[in-house]
Structure 1
Amino acid sequence: MDAVCRLCRRENVKLFLKGDRCLSDKCAINKRNYAPGLHGQRRRTKLSEYGLQLREKQKVKRTYGLMESQFRSYFQKAARAQGVTGINLLVLLERRLDNVVYRMGFADSRAQARQLVRHGHVRVNGRKVNIPSFLIKQGDAVEPREKSRHMEVIRGNMEHIAQKQIPEWLHVDATAMRGVVQTLPSREDITMPIQEQLIVELYSK
């Protein structure tokens, strides 16, 4: 079983770390809906309050592919901003360039999107950006570089874009291979089952 798939099984939810595989019958959650390890099938004990908070943090960290130091930095930034800290945190994570590349359908997973960005295949407003954590703004245009548009991975993803659910805060022209950030994401745009208040409680201790 793929190590990445074990993460989904550990959190007992699809984190969509393997792209299209997560939507197929090969998904680890569909085949083995229990925690990994020798005693995974018996490990259904009730979690403590701290355990619930920790699992929620791990779920979000793994979804967006972040290290602990990165995640804590986002939380601190969210706490300093106006508004609700938990919502601020999720919106910041959604605004990451690697996440936007994934959400627009140029990549079939956030991991693949990070690789495309790091290797310089993505432009924002006509300029190459190779920093996955770059925060997009309303009105930003995101697209593959001209030389990268013929890459098999990008063309293959765009051919299947009709099967993907593009969030309403993004507009994608598949023919032009170009996406625009129409507005910043709201809490309602994040459909994954996340209880962000548990994360706030964890870091507030």
Structure 2
Amino acid sequence: MARYNGPVCRLCRREGEKLFLKGERCYTDKCAMERRPYAPGDHGQGRRRKLSEFGVQLREKQKVKRIYGVLESQFRKYFEKAEHQPSVTGEKFLQILESRLDNVVYRLGFATSRNEARQLVRHGHIQVNDRRVDIPSYQVEVGDKIEVKDSSKDMKRMEEITEFNEVQEVPSWLESDLNQLEGKMLGEPVREDIDLPIQEQLIVEFYSR
């Protein structure tokens, strides 16, 4: 599947805020948003034009796509799926994104970024209900057990990750044991638990044009 492989710090600068795409680096003064807090390109430091209503909606959609690392076709499929559910479309949409396996691995503290979590899943380091799952978009369900497989728990990188994430808060819909590198999905994510600067209504308006 196609995937953006360019410089991710450029994405944060384009959106004008930290999207925390590079894990530990985003918390240091090496972060591109700390050093160059303006849009990339020759005209990045110039005065920004005021966005139209469509422009604001588009930027919000692009930002959320970049946060979760999802391409347009799959992103739209998620929206269409949420749109046909008997619940608030925007909240259901975020719930679907949050339930992706790569995001759950990140939220549990088994990775320092969603991109790193995606790599762990793809390389076969993650198990769901004692079975290896290497599909980042796999939808985790309530009651599922997620863990790093035994042969991967001793990797030096896993030690670094758990040390970094010891102070990170795990959302209430998940239960995590960093010592054993295992966790469980206790319930469906609710909007109050999604601590991201997202205005999902703008995305609903964008796709409802």
Fold in common (TM above 0.5): yes
CA contact (8 A) 1:35 1:43 kept: no
Q: Structure 1 residue 43: deviation in Å?
A: 4.1
CA contact (8 A) 2:112 2:165 kept: no
- Aligned counterpart for 1:37 among listed residues 25, 36, 41: 41
The CA deviation string for residues 164-204 of structure 1, in whole angstroms up to 9 with x for no partner, is: 12112111112221111121110011111111111111111
Q: Structure 1 residue 23: deviation in Å?
A: 1.2
1:124 aligned onto 2:132? no
Counterpart of 2:75? 71
Bigger mean CA offset, 145-154 vs 84-93? 145-154
Indicate the SS of the match to 1:33. coil
Sequence identity percentage: 58
Find the aligned partners of 1:174 and 1:68 in 2 and give their Cα distance.
Answer: 33
Please tell me the root mean square deviation across aligned C-alpha atoms, in Å. Answer: 1.1
The one-letter code matched in structure 1 to 2:93 is L
Aligned length: 204
TM-score, length-scaled by structure 1: 0.96
Counterpart of 2:3? none
TM-score, length-scaled by structure 2: 0.94
Counterpart of 1:54? 58
Find the aligned partners of 1:160 and 1:32 in 2 and give their Cα distance.
Answer: 25
Find the aligned partners of 1:144 and 1:33 in 2 and give their Cα distance.
Answer: 36
CA contact (8 A) 1:107 1:153 kept: no
Counterpart of 1:137? 141
Find the aligned partners of 1:54 and 1:147 in 2 and give their Cα distance.
Answer: 43
1:91 aligned onto 2:95? yes
Bigger mean CA offset, 67-76 vs 169-178? 169-178
Runs of 4 or more, structure 1, over 6 Å off, are none
- Which stretches in structure 2 are left out of the alignment for 5+ residues? 1-5
- Aligned counterpart for 1:190 among listed residues 173, 187, 194: 194
